[in-house]
Structures are given as structure tokens and as C-alpha cells.
Amino acid sequence: MGYVRDMVRRGIPGAYVLSLRIGSSMVQDVENSFFMNVNDQVSEVCSQLAKNPHLKGGYNAMGFSQGGQFLRAVAQRCPSPPMFTLISVGGQHQGVYGFPRCPGESSHICDWIRKMLDLGAYSQAVQEHLVQAQYWHDPLKEEEYRKKSIFLADINQERGINETYKKNLMALKKFVMVKFLNDTMVDPPISEWFGFYKSGQAKDTVPLQETLLYKEDRLGLQEMDKAGKLAFLGVEGDHLHFTEGWFYAHILPFLQ
């Protein structure tokens, strides 16, 4: 994130850039990205943003991988200060159903996470203490997902329509979604463009525009799409693999 922060500063001299951290140290921040309740993380970020005098007039937000969906939750739940543009770089907005790789693949953490997901992604203990379970979306168990997912099912309006969520998301001037065209980490990769597997199976996928979320306009995405507020970008490469040149050409304009 320090590298990205520096790119933004070089591209927009004088810009104020806040790199969010959850915890008192970088080590704690990494641990929290695996084990801290996502709803608590979102609340912590909302508090940080509200207390920051540099952001009181509004801000643009950029999230990488799961940070993209977490910042969308911030936009939906915490409209003050206002978020102008949300850039999701590889964010899994319909969740994941698979964990082929994870950061630190050689670490025992990855194997442990897979074991917990296999044992029961929707058990209360796993939901509350494993971040990846909180956006685990099982297309073979849609009803269980809707009932027991403590984070993703809520922000995706799976249990009912929270009009405040919809209103707050629609207040964005732009919602940019970046999909990595050769992604081997996110399953399915189309989740990065808000698509997902067809319900009841885990082979064929549908784009956002063919999902009930869009057709019923539960989050206002259909209306935002028609208004030109949604941007779908594709970049060659595996998860979070992009060049500085691509960043300056395709992402920086949304921040200016």
C-alpha cells in the first residue's frame, strides 16, 4: 500500500493520501485481515475517516482485493464524510467460492483457512473469526448463505432491502471495478465485476446485469449503470498484478 500511496502522490502532487491500517502495527494489520470481524473493521474505518480533518469535505477511495468490498460497505454504511469515487481493484463483490491461493501461500495460515472453510464456512464461530468466511458465497447453499453470512449477505441486500444502503451507494459519482483477466486467486474472477455463479451450481457464471441483484436493483446498480456511474476495467495479469504505467493511464484519471 505504501507503493500505491507513493504512485498517487507522484501522479497528483500535493494530494493528501491516507493509507488505512487496522491495528496498532503492520503485523496486527495483516493478522486482522485474516481474523478480525469485517463488520468491526468497517466500523473502525468509518471512525478513522470521520475523525480525519483532511477528509471532512469528501474523498475518493481505492481498495485492493477484499479491501474493495470492505470499502463498498463503508460507502453504504457511513455516508459522512462523503465518498465521491470508489475504485475496487480485484474486489470480490459477490464473494468467493473457492480458495485456490492466498497471500503467503507457503504459510500454514492458508491451509488452516481452507480447513475451516471446509468444516463449515457458515458456522457462527467461523463466521465471526475468519474474514474469508464472511464473504464465502456458496451457490449450492444459497439459503444458508443468505441466513448465516454476517457480512456479504448484508451489504448485498440478500435478506431484505436496506434503503439507506442503496441511497448511500447511489450517491457515488463513480464506482470503478477492476477485474484481473488471468486471476488465479479469486474464484470466480467475475465476482470482481459483481458477477457470480448461476445459483445451484458452480460451473457457469453470469455477469452483473443478469443477476437478481441487478434486475431487482436492490443496491441501485442498475440505475447507476444507466447513468454511466459504473466502470468495468479489465487488466491482463494475475491477481493484483499491474504495471505503474497501467495505473497512471487507467486509474489515476478517476482520482483527479
Range with lowest mean pLDDT among 13-22, 98-107, 205-214: 98-107
Asked if pLDDT for residue 95 goes beyond 90, the answer is: yes
Asked if pLDDT for residue 102 goes beyond 80, the answer is: no
Per the annotation, the verdict on 239 as an active-site residue is yes
Give 256: exposed, middle or buried? Use CB within 10 Å, 0-12, 13-18, 19+. Answer: exposed
Q: Which is catalytic among the residues 93, 137, 149, 183?
A: 183
Beta bridge mates, 178: 89, 233
**Residues 26-75: pLDDT tens digits?**
888 888 788 889 999 999 999 999 999 999 999 999 999 999 999 999 99
Per the annotation, the verdict on 43 as an active-site residue is no
Asked if pLDDT for residue 192 goes beyond 60, the answer is: yes
Tell me how far CA of residue 55 lies from CA of 74, 114, 173, in angstroms: 14, 38, 16
Angle (CA) 199 205 209, round 5°: 90
Q: What is the pTM of this model?
A: 0.92
Higher pLDDT among residues 76 and 36, named by residue: 76
Task: Return left, alpha or beta for 48; rule: phi > 0 is left, psi -120 to 50 is alpha, else beta.
Answer: alpha
Read off the pLDDT of each residue in 217-222 and give the average, rounded to a whole number: 98
- Residue type at position 228: G
**Residues 106-138: pLDDT tens digits?**
566 666 676 777 678 899 989 998 898 999 999
Per the annotation, the verdict on 29 as an active-site residue is no
- The pLDDT score that the predictor gives to residue 116 is 73
CATH number of 22-254: 3.40.50.1820
Of all residues in the chain, the percent with pLDDT exceeding 70 is: 94
Residue 225: all three cell numbers together: 449503470
Sequence-separated (6 or more) residues with CB below 8 Å from residue 116? 126, 130, 133
3-state helix, strand, coil in the chain (%, to 5): 50, 10, 40
DSSP secondary structure string, 226-249? HTT-EEEEEESSSTT---HHHIII
Distance CA 154, CA 136 (A): 13
The three-state secondary structure class of 191 is helix
Q: Using 50, 70 and 90 to split pLDDT, how confident is the model at 104?
A: low
- Give the CA count within 13 Å in the CB-facing half-sphere of 256: 12
Average pLDDT, the chain: 92
